[in-house]
Amino acid sequence: MSLLEQLESEKYISVETFKKSGDGIKTPVWFVIRDETIFVVTRDQTGKFKRLKNNTKVNLAICSMKGDIKGEWFSGIATILPEEQVKEAVKWRDKKYGFLAKIAKFASKSKGELCAFSIKLD
């Protein structure tokens, strides 16, 4: 079974992004999979998004809501999505996570505008 097939039934992945110093920061996130690609919706003022602007290399692993790792790590490359694709990613995320996505959208407003990135595994 491929990683993407394993991920289909999961709710959280830990995404490790990297500071300019090279130090990795791990963050549990919601995600959706479309066309062999992982999509993550976030806000443009979050640390993970700011770090991706400097370094698109990421590592990811299945995790719990609190970020406890439940499997092995995989590497990939993230791509920040243009605005028109962000709307699609938000729709997919909202469909997967339902009412919780609406709550998260409201609760995270102070962290900037909605944005998204895709991850292609190496």
> Using one digit for the tens of pLDDT, what is the confidence trace for 76-98?
999 999 999 999 999 999 999 99
Q: pLDDT of 33-76, one tens digit each?
A: 999 999 999 999 999 999 999 999 999 999 999 999 998 999 99
Could you please report the per-residue DSSP string of 7-67? HTT-S-EEEEEE-TTS-EEEEEE--EEETTEEEEEEETTSHHHHHHHH--EEEEEEB-TT-
Residue 25 CA: distances (Å) to CA of 35, 47, 51, 52, 91: 27, 9, 9, 11, 27
Would you tell me the crossing angle of helices 83-97 and 99-107 to the nearest 10 degrees? Answer: 130
pLDDT band of 111, cuts 50, 70, 90: very high
Asked if the model's pLDDT at residue 113 lies above 80, the reply is yes
Strand partners, 117: 40, 80
- d(CA 51, CA 23) in angstroms, rounded, equals 11
pLDDT band of 5, cuts 50, 70, 90: confident
Asked if the model's pLDDT at residue 3 lies above 90, the reply is no
Q: What is the pLDDT of residue 1?
A: 67
User: Which CATH number does the domain housing residue 30 bear?
Assistant: 2.30.110.10
- How many domains are there within the chain? 1
Q: What is the pLDDT of residue 4?
A: 84
Domain hosting residue 115, numbered range: 3-121
Q: What is the pLDDT of residue 30?
A: 97
Q: What is the pLDDT of residue 102?
A: 87
Asked if the model's pLDDT at residue 29 lies above 70, the reply is yes
